[in-house]
Structure 1
Amino acid sequence: MRKKKGYTQETFANALDINRPSVGAYEEGRADPRLTTLSKMARLFDVSVDELINEDLTNENRVPKQNVKVLAVTVDENADEEYIQLVPTKAAAGYTNGYADPEYLTDLPRFHLPVLPKGGTYRAFEISGDSMLPLLSGSIVIGKYIEQLNEIKNGNTYVLVTQSEGVVYKRVFNYVEEKGKLFLVSDNKSFSAYELDPSEVVEIWEAKAYISVEFPDPNSSNDLSMDQLMDAIGNLKKDVEQLKKHS
């Protein structure tokens, strides 16, 4: 964690107002820092003391702490279960700012869907555009909330709430450990795959069902096979490597 923040043992010791050998002793498990020192460390790393002590902060698959907020939900008191909130296309831009606000969620349409497995938190998102054909624009994708990037199953579809892209629905490949990136792929081969920095991710919703007033065309030629998906990812990774060589 110290090295990731760009500190040497010397500069880290100076920032904590301790001597350099103490830093080495802490890192080698030969001594434990005092509470006042732990508090300073927590401020430097922008985490709580509890997180510093109890969590693996080197885990690349954590959703970035600065993006994490308490997930707001609304509950049907009569049925004793959470509602599924619907985020229409016209509300998607506002959702990135108000997703953690219970009052914002209360104003969204809500419903129950009995066929979904119990025990999860679900949200529905209206998708727009034709990047995920044969799923049509205007379809509603229902996703189950997942907390960690390492829960992503490569090649499955997810709704990602992001800081720069807003709400997107794509197939996701997790290359955070290898490349430090997520790769997002459209089912419509007319759209290029692209990479996303994990620091952009605010929420992850694993697609579990969809609702549409139109049936997909079974003869659609726009959908990709898994081999084509992997080829697309491979080509994107090659492009990234070429860019790195020339940068």
Structure 2
Amino acid sequence: MSEQQKIFLSENIGFLRKRRKLTQQQLAQLLDFTREKMRAIEKGATKNPSVEDLVKFSDFFKLSVDSLLKVNLTKLQELQLRELEAGNDVYMTGSRIRVLPITVDVENRQNCEYVPIKAKMGYSSGYNDPEYISSLPKYNDPSLSRTGTYRTFQAEGDSMYPVPDKAEVTGAYIENWLAIKQDTPCIVILKGANNFVFKLVTVNKNEKNFLLKSLNPLYKPYIIEVDDVLEFWEFKKMHLDRLPEQPTEMQELKGMFNDLKIEIAKLKK
């Protein structure tokens, strides 16, 4: 799947119509559409529905236009649908709006999938693809709770500093982003090329964004927006094949350079 946002409008309208036990003709009459127009929308033949039509669907089904377009409602449970209909901010609650792909062993226990460096480039586009997740190496760690969902990510370079290069970090999946406590250590999966960072995360509920702080004081804290985040994984354990090193002058310079890049990106916005 490419990085282009998939649109679920056609599937969602058909699903919501059937959920209301309406025929295409009945829904078309309620929205002042022709049946042919309704059929074309549900078949996906209407590639660019008008803003007026989207607003009509939104008002009728009591769902935001964003949810109708971006969320695959057919994959949600009834309680999740009711939460959407109640107007709750599901984008701030993160992955509650989608089904997290997992794998299980022969005893139906969840595996801990392993994302090595060579798989990182594809993760941002395959993170919600069951086929991609099933292709990852996987193992079972008896020291982890049976009730959680875990994934192990391999660090590369300074992208997850102070986690050493090539170290393996295991995190527990955070379903409700609003429940993240202040300065929770997390592996943060972001959109874009450099998409893995290890930071202390604090939720800013009023501004609907997150403050990320490094354990290394040489790296300044910065803000990320909700739309930039794919996943949060709360730190549980780290696997090292050597002792961690003290920061070098080169690492300090890299920290200063990283801060400068962040400031430049803010200025561009």
For normalisation by structure 1, the TM-score amounts to 0.64
Of 34, 57, 62, the residue aligned with 2:93 is 62
Of 143, 148, 151, the residue aligned with 1:120 is 148
Is the helix fraction higher in 1 or 2?
Answer: 2
CA displacement, residues 153-194 of structure 1 (integer Å, 9 cap, x when unaligned): 2112111222245222211111132x3321111122222221
- Cα distance between partner residues in 2 of 1:210 and 1:80: 25
- Cα distance between partner residues in 1 of 2:158 and 2:58: 54
User: Any residues of structure 2 matched to 1:210-229 within 5 Å, and which?
Assistant: 210-217=238-245, 220=246
Q: Corresponding residue for 2:63?
A: 42
Q: Corresponding residue for 2:22?
A: none
- Cα distance between partner residues in 2 of 1:64 and 1:104: 17
- Cα distance between partner residues in 1 of 2:147 and 2:131: 23
Q: Which has the higher contact order (CA 8 A, sep 6+)?
A: 1
Pick closer, same or farther for the CA change 1:111–1:200 going to 2, 3 Å.
Answer: same
Q: Secondary structure at the match of 1:210?
A: strand
Unaligned stretches of 5+ residues in structure 2: 1-30, 33-56, 249-262
Q: Displacement of 1:54 after TM fit? A: 5.1
Unaligned stretches of 5+ residues in structure 1: 1-15, 18-35, 223-238
Q: Corresponding residue for 1:189?
A: 217
AA aligned to 2:150 is: Y
1:71 aligns with 2:92: no
1:106 aligns with 2:134: yes
CA displacement, residues 189-247 of structure 1 (integer Å, 9 cap, x when unaligned): 22222110012222111111111111235xx479xxxxxxxxxxxxxxxx9xxx99xx9
Of 173, 195, 199, the residue aligned with 1:166 is 195
What count of residue pairs does the alignment treat as equivalent? 188
Q: Secondary structure at the match of 1:103?
A: helix
- Cα distance between partner residues in 1 of 2:100 and 2:222: 27
- Cα distance between partner residues in 1 of 2:89 and 2:102: 30
- Cα distance between partner residues in 2 of 1:103 and 1:64: 18
Q: Corresponding residue for 1:32?
A: none
AA aligned to 1:61 is: M
- Cα distance between partner residues in 1 of 2:118 and 2:61: 44
For normalisation by structure 2, the TM-score amounts to 0.59
Q: Secondary structure at the match of 2:94?
A: coil
1:201 aligns with 2:232: no
Pick closer, same or farther for the CA change 1:153–1:162 going to 2, 3 Å.
Answer: same
Q: Corresponding residue for 2:123?
A: 95
CA displacement, residues 103-153 of structure 1 (integer Å, 9 cap, x when unaligned): 212221111111011201100111123365543111111111111111212
Q: Secondary structure at the match of 2:63?
A: helix
AA aligned to 1:57 is: N
1:141–1:207 CA contact under 8 A, matched in 2: yes
Pick closer, same or farther for the CA change 1:40–1:134 going to 2, 3 Å.
Answer: closer
AA aligned to 2:60 is: S
Q: Displacement of 1:64 after TM fit? A: 7.5
Identity of aligned residues (%): 28
AA aligned to 1:171 is: L
AA aligned to 1:74 is: T
- Cα distance between partner residues in 2 of 1:182 and 1:86: 26
Q: Secondary structure at the match of 1:76?
A: coil
1:143–1:158 CA contact under 8 A, matched in 2: yes
2:153–2:170 CA contact under 8 A, matched in 1: yes
- Cα distance between partner residues in 2 of 1:214 and 1:125: 17
1:135 aligns with 2:163: yes
2:95–2:175 CA contact under 8 A, matched in 1: no
- Cα distance between partner residues in 1 of 2:94 and 2:101: 17
